[in-house]
Structure formats: structure tokens, C-alpha cells
Amino acid sequence: MTDKTANPSQTKLAIVTGGSRGLGRNTALNLAKKGVDVIITYHSNQTEADTAVAAIQAEGRKATALQLDASNVSSFDPFVAQVQQALAKTFGRDRFDWLVNNAGTGHYAPFEQTTEQAFDEMVNIHLKGVYFLTQKLLPVIADGGRIVNVSSGLTRFTNPGSSAYAVMKGGVEVLTRYLAKELGPRGIAVNTVAPGAIETDFGGGKVRNSPDLKRMIAEGTALGRVGLPDDIGPMIASLLCDDNRWVNGQRIEVSGGVLL
């Protein structure tokens, strides 16, 4: 029988969904800086993914990129098979240690203008996708592993026009607590990281490209500015490491103290 337990002496290996850009890329790079090998996923831009892989490898770590539509549950079985192939071929192992559920898109519309189609798209990528991708990957995550689900500050404070997106992230936060309880017997810790407003291309670069919005957010933030990817990636990488092994079932907001 194959041992499902992580080997403490073995290099850690993480899967970061949506790891070709934005917060996912930053997280993957910061994991590499901590000596972690990484599998990133990308939706459609392979060139961007290859660039991210090269950056990880420049840190001296092994890496590969796999295509994944995180909103399409029917693609998850083939994806897991690709993960298993990559584990054997690239990393010489049959388990990975850490999963970061980061992939996602934004949706901005008032409640009364949010269509059923848009709502379903948010369900599929942010809630259903996270739920069933994690489920499908359970056989190949090592006992003693860790999972981080990326949520949003919008589950604590309210920004009109983000109801559909925020509802899904609220569901992910509840899921995190259930996973922490149910996967505890395998020694797998599960936490939520909830970023505040960050300057990335997320949602079409809504925060990054709007000086007025950035100024408004900065005025409502204790540390006086909008967040950057470098404020989030290192935190997630640190949370996954052994120094935080006793943190479990928690929602950790990383927002610079917005709307306190």
C-alpha cells in the first residue's frame, strides 16, 4: 500500500490554481522562494503560464503548468490524471502537500441587474469549482497537508455591486470550516485567506486602473493605501509553512485594516 503521509524530509510541493498571474503567481513565486516546488494552473494563456514557470525555476525550484477550467467540474477527473502524471514525471512522487484554491474571476453589477447566467458563472468557478476540485484532489494530497481557500474582504464589509461574487466567497468560508473538521483526521489543516482590495488585473483591473477608487480605499484603510500582490503572496506562503501548523479552520483577512 502506498504511504499517503508527507515525508518531512521531502521538498514540499504545492498546487496553486490560477497561478499564472496576479495573486496566484505571486503566491507561487513566494512559495518557490521558501524552497517549495509548484504546480500552477492556467485557464487559457499558456505563454503567461510558461513565464510564471520560468520565474519559479529561476528560484531554483521545480515547476510545471497545467491547463484547468476551474468552473468546469467535468474537466476535473482528466485534470487529476494530469496531476498524477506530472507528480511522477516532473517531481518523482505520487502526492503533493499543499493546495491553494485561488483561481477566479470578478463580477460587478447591482443586485437587481445581476443575471442568472452571471450568478451561475460565479457559482461554478468560486464555489462549485472549489468544492469539487478539492474533493477530486483528496486522493493525491498527502496526509498532514494544507489547503488555503482564497476568499475576499467583501464577506465582512459590503460594497454594492459585488453581491454575487461575495455570496460565493461567503460559501467558501463556510466550506473551509467543514473541510478543517472533516479532513482533521488526516492531519490536513484548512484555512481561508481574505484579501482586501489589491492592485492586479482581477476584474479587468478595476482597482488598479481607477485612481479615484484607489484613493477612496486608501482613505478607509488603517495603513493608508491599496494592497499589492506582494502583500498577499508572502502571507499565504507563510501560512502554509510549518511555523503555522496549528492554525486551522480560520478566516484570516489581509487588508491593511480596511473599514475597521
Which residues are catalytic, by number?
165
**Quick one: DSSP state of residue 128?**
I
Q: Which amino acid is at 82?
A: Q
C-alpha cell at 224: 493608508
Q: How many helices and strands, by DSSP H and E, does the chain display?
A: 9, 7
Q: Burial of 51 by CB count in 10 Å (0-12 exposed, 13-18 middle, 19+ buried)?
A: middle
Is-contact 98 15, C-beta < 8 A?
yes
Reading phi first (left if > 0) and then psi (alpha if -120 to 50, else beta), residue 22 is in: left
C-alpha cell at 185: 483526521
The sign of the CA dihedral 185, 245, 5, 68 is positive
DSSP state of 124: I
165: left (phi over 0), alpha (psi -120 to 50) or beta: alpha
Strand partners, 195: 254
Strand pairing partners for 118? none
Degrees (nearest 5) of the Cα angle 208, 119, 73? 95
User: 14 with 98: CB under 8 angstroms?
Assistant: yes
